[in-house]
Structure 1
Amino acid sequence: MSATAWLAIAVFAAAYVLIATEKLNRAAVALGGAAAMVIIGATRGHEMFFSEDTGIDWNVIFLLFGMMIIVGILKETGVFEFLAIWSAQRAKARPFRMMVMLIVITAFASALLDNVTTVLLVAPVTLLLCDRMGLKPIPFLLAEAMASNIGGTATLIGDPPNIIIASRAGLTFNDFLVHLAPIVLVLLIVFIGLAWLLWGRLLVHDPERSKAVMALTPRETISDARLLRQMSVLLVVVLAGFVTHSLTHIEPSIIALLGAGVAILISRLEPRAYLEDVEWETLLFFAGLFIMVGSLVHQGVITELAGSLTDVIGANPQGAAIGVLIGSTVLSGIIDNIPYVATMSPLVLDLVGPAPGLPPHQQSLWWALALGADLGGNATAIGASANVVVCGIAKRNGHPISFWEFTKYGLIVTAVTVLCTVPYVLLRYFS
């Protein structure tokens, strides 16, 4: 590697340490790291702003921005408080039952939509629910972020890395359902058990608050029924756009922005009402993180790492599959799993070729890549986009989740879920 590449690694490592130690604002660190990459010559304007491989992923930025506006306008109708009370009453106001309900809803919604959109919709409900019940929301938010990454693994559209893999490997929506949905259902059950061990016994039940919540009438929280009906129709259209992405080839970011524009027109709200719910700090953090990781890609650092992995394991099919699974888990926890998969997928393509027609033991590399990247995203607060969004929402609402608080739970969840996938890969593709 060149001297510039080594400098880029040093800049990224320094920024990562600062983000992890939380000595400085994470958005400031990410933007500072991006500026340092420019100063050392690791990237330039074209690579930063116009390259799909080495620049800011505008699809992610504008998807988040559009959905944040839609969520902000929905918030004005009172629907999130309605859903919070309804959920509490369905769970008999028992904290762990509520957590399980939210985990299941989040996981299944993430499979049908995408995990970032899901947490944007579920997190506000969770915050209101915990406020009503007098519960600390951080365990619930952590569980939802991790459930979104697990659930999103099941389908082509559930997690952005899957879209990249499908494009490179020639895989369809049904391929993901057949190969990944079975193990994801098992992982969801395992995760619910982990949630009990990690957080269940910490959730304190307050009988008085429970009685008060059970006595509430959810419909009384709806402040603008007409706007809610209009926004419900719009949300269904937007979600349908996400689900049919593989048919229409319209980017989710475009759908989200169009939806946000229509929402602004029909709501007739003052800009302050919906713009105050936009997580500007999160968007800036993403931009800086994309530039830093893109600089590593541009300098060949990620390719070098992935290439070393494939060189070591290429001669042994079983070792290759498990090596890609474990290696992808580790690297996706350190850097965002989107640029990692964008770099690793061409290398898998070189090794085995497109997935259709491959024998099971060769096709296993594609599924190992998807499982490792998606589940590895749970390891740290910056491993997956959904994690960053949840941490941003939590901080904005006065419940900051530190890097290490997320990571100490995320490492456990990642280790257990990935270990569960090892026998699945071996039995399904090599027996």
Structure 2
Amino acid sequence: MTTPQAALFAILLGALLLQALVPSRRVLVVTGGAALACLASTLLGVATTQRLLAEVPWDVLVILVTLGLLSQLFAATRVFDQLAVAATRLSGADPFRVLVVFSVAMFVVSSIVNNLTALVLVLPVLHALLKLMGTRQRYVSWLLGLVLVACNLGGAATPIGDFPAILLLGRGSMTFGDYLVRAAPATLCALAALLLVVRFAVRPAAGVPRDPVSARLTRASMAALHRRVRVDRRLLVPSAAALAAMVAAWLFLPAELGVGPELVCWLGAGAALIMARRLGERLARTGLDIEAVLFLLSLFVMVAAVRRTGLFEEVSRSLERLPIAPSLQLVVFLVLAGLLTGVFSAGPSMAALLEVAESLAARLPGHAVYVGLALSVCAGSSLFLTAATSGPLAQALTERANLRDVDGRPIRFGFFDFLPAGLLSFSIIQAVAIAYALLALWAAR
């Protein structure tokens, strides 16, 4: 390893480790790391700051920002609040049905809006339901754990659900339709397998009180609490129309036109904000997720500096030189991707690993590499409570809810409470990622 490679990799690795250890300072840590990477890159003769900034995938940031604004418009319509209330009615206050229905609901919501928005909308309704049901610590830990994992799977199911898939779409690694038809069935299989194992092996609902009279009272209380929740159709119709037009453009616009996914997002979200009138103007002024933009911009700068040293190419060549079949090389890469994501979280891992994935995709079917990588990153982000940004938010919201079990003891949802669900979810989703990649390689022969 050369001096520039060692120095810039140390800055990248140090920033990623520190932001994982101190998530409350993650933006300052990563922006500081990016500044150091620019300084070191300039002094070591790797690249100037201007060159590094020129290599930032600005189209990905445009997609991220515009989809975030569109998510806020959907949140303002209250349609997902209604979905949460409908999920409550459908579950019938039965413990295992609550687990299944809310997991599926979070999968659906997270495939359209980002995970943080989905949790903010749905989790308070679930907390209110748990207070009325009467529950146990073990059940709540598994229920909230599976809800978080369902968020991750829903985000990986579509190209607009979460950052790793958005990065694939923005960089042109896969088209919208190609990713959707391959990733959505795989993530659904992973969710179904997880729920089946939980139902027949884990059985978290065992020991939770089940009383038909209490269940009826719970359903009636939830209906009364949310009786005044109404969907704002004046916002929903233009927002849904804009999203439908964007999906149609992603699916059917010929590539020869040069209208990329970032321009489709820009035009679609802009039209939705204009039709929302005053709310649209307010969101355009104050609704930008500056934290996410700064974090990812800084991350892209550090990754660009390391890429300039040729380190990623050397890692790819080392992987190629492993004395095993190409299919097993891909399996090794996917397992490492899942484990690294568990430590560093999805955004940093995907940004760095995609550089190696592109080298593998030059020798193997691209969809096997890219969808397998997206699923592995999803597995890693489900391993620990801190591996996804939605984890700490779920912990904070649960602490504020002041939940108690049937004996009056406070219910927690921390790192170790989530860990059993995280380990099981990681194992199942990682297995699905490997199975998908191997089947795709076999079908391509």
What does 1:401-420 align with in structure 2 at a 5 Å threshold? 410=422, 412-420=424-432
Greater Cα offset, 116-125 or 88-97: 116-125
Q: 1:187 aligns with which of 171, 174, 190?
A: 190
Matched position secondary structure for 2:92: coil
Give the whole-Å Cα distance in 1 for the aligned partners of 2:52 and 2:414: 28
Q: Name the CA shift for 1:293/1:429 in 2 (closer, same or farther; >3 Å).
A: closer
Q: Name the CA shift for 1:423/1:68 in 2 (closer, same or farther; >3 Å).
A: closer
Q: Which amino acid aligns with 1:322?
A: V
* CA distances 1:295-331 after superposition (whole Å, capped 9, x unpaired): 2222222222222111114x53453343344344445
Q: Which amino acid aligns with 2:298?
A: G
Give the whole-Å Cα distance in 2 for the aligned partners of 1:175 and 1:93: 36
Give the whole-Å Cα distance in 2 for the aligned partners of 1:59 and 1:403: 35
* CA distances 1:236-281 after superposition (whole Å, capped 9, x unpaired): 3234334446767633332333233223322222544665554322
Matched position secondary structure for 2:278: coil
Give the whole-Å Cα distance in 2 for the aligned partners of 1:24 and 1:421: 31
What does 1:64-103 align with in structure 2 at a 5 Å threshold? 64-94=64-94, 96-103=96-103
What does 1:18-417 align with in structure 2 at a 5 Å threshold? 18-22=18-22, 24-41=24-41, 44-51=48-55, 55=56, 57-94=57-94, 96-105=96-105, 107=107, 117=113, 119=115, 122-133=118-129, 139=145, 142-148=148-154, 151-152=157-158, 159-160=165-166, 163=169, 167=173, 173=177, 177=181, 183-193=186-196, 200-201=204-205, 209-215=218-224, 220-222=228-230, 224-244=232-252, 250-269=259-278, 271-272=281-282, 276-313=286-323, 316-330=325-339, 334=344, 335-349=348-362, 351=363, 355=365, 366=366, 368-381=368-381, 390=390, 410=422, 412-417=424-429
Give the whole-Å Cα distance in 2 for the aligned partners of 1:9 and 1:405: 34
Which protein has the larger Cα radius of gyration, Structure 1 or Structure 2? 2
* CA distances 1:182-230 after superposition (whole Å, capped 9, x unpaired): 6544322222246667895599788555431144666x42264333333
| Counterpart contact for 1:147–1:188, Cα < 8 Å | yes
Give the whole-Å Cα distance in 2 for the aligned partners of 1:60 and 1:403: 31
- 2:410 aligns with none
Q: Name the CA shift for 1:369/1:2 in 2 (closer, same or farther; >3 Å).
A: same
Give 1:45 deviation, angstroms: 2.8
User: How many residue pairs align between the two structures?
Assistant: 400
Matched position secondary structure for 1:312: coil
Give the whole-Å Cα distance in 2 for the aligned partners of 1:289 and 1:402: 27
Give the whole-Å Cα distance in 1 for the aligned partners of 2:263 and 2:112: 15
| Counterpart contact for 1:381–1:406, Cα < 8 Å | no
Q: Name the CA shift for 1:225/1:379 in 2 (closer, same or farther; >3 Å).
A: closer
Matched position secondary structure for 1:25: helix
Give the whole-Å Cα distance in 1 for the aligned partners of 2:423 and 2:101: 23
Q: Which amino acid aligns with 2:353?
A: Y
Give the whole-Å Cα distance in 1 for the aligned partners of 2:296 and 2:418: 18
Q: Name the CA shift for 1:3/1:92 in 2 (closer, same or farther; >3 Å).
A: same
Any unmatched runs of 5+ in structure 2?
A: 132-139, 401-412
Give the whole-Å Cα distance in 1 for the aligned partners of 2:232 and 2:176: 41
TM-score (norm 2): 0.71
Give the whole-Å Cα distance in 1 for the aligned partners of 2:107 and 2:115: 10
Give 1:35 deviation, angstroms: 1.0
Aligned-pair identity (%): 20
Q: Which amino acid aligns with 2:48?
A: R
| Counterpart contact for 1:72–1:274, Cα < 8 Å | no
Q: Which amino acid aligns with 2:374?
A: D
Give the whole-Å Cα distance in 2 for the aligned partners of 1:301 and 1:40: 15
- Aligned residues: CA RMSD: 4.4
Greater Cα offset, 224-233 or 26-35: 224-233
| Counterpart contact for 1:91–1:98, Cα < 8 Å | yes
- 2:135 aligns with none
Give the whole-Å Cα distance in 2 for the aligned partners of 1:23 and 1:75: 26
Q: Which amino acid aligns with 2:259?
A: I
Q: Name the CA shift for 1:381/1:217 in 2 (closer, same or farther; >3 Å).
A: closer
What does 1:1-16 align with in structure 2 at a 5 Å threshold? 1-16=1-16
* CA distances 1:35-62 after superposition (whole Å, capped 9, x unpaired): 11112116533343222xxx2x323322
